[in-house]
Amino acid sequence: MRTFDESQKDVSDVVLVVQDTQFYVSEMYLASQSTYLKTLFLGGFSESKKSEIALTGIDADEFQHFLEVLYGEFSIDDFTVEGILLIADFYDTPMFPRQEYN
């Protein structure tokens, strides 16, 4: 399991907070992976000037797995796949196929 905790502070430039859990990540790397996050980080919104950004409406454990996949870890299994795909769809992450709902 990859860590995104405070031990990553020296190699991160933004902290994403999900359900009181802090994820130390690279803004530019995530912007290159997600059009939603690219807009959030680089689109001139007030969040783009913050070093800590709260993300709501998602589960911290599922977000952990989503980040692991984006950073090249194989974290997909029967228990994590649904949450990863939902977050990937929400954040418009092209490396994942968009889900079609009936």
Predicted confidence (pLDDT) at residue 33 exceeds the cutoff of 70: yes
Predicted confidence (pLDDT) at residue 73 exceeds the cutoff of 60: yes
| Comparison of pLDDT for 1 and 37, the residue scoring more | 37
Which is it for strands 21-25 and 14-18: parallel, antiparallel or unpaired?
Answer: antiparallel
46: amino acid identity, one letter = S
Domains and CATH numbers, the chain: 6-90 (3.30.710.10)
Mean pLDDT across the chain:
89
Q: Is 92 helix (H, G, I), strand (E, B) or coil?
A: coil
**At 45, is the pLDDT very low, low, confident or very high (cuts 50, 70, 90)?**
confident
pTM of the complete model: 0.87
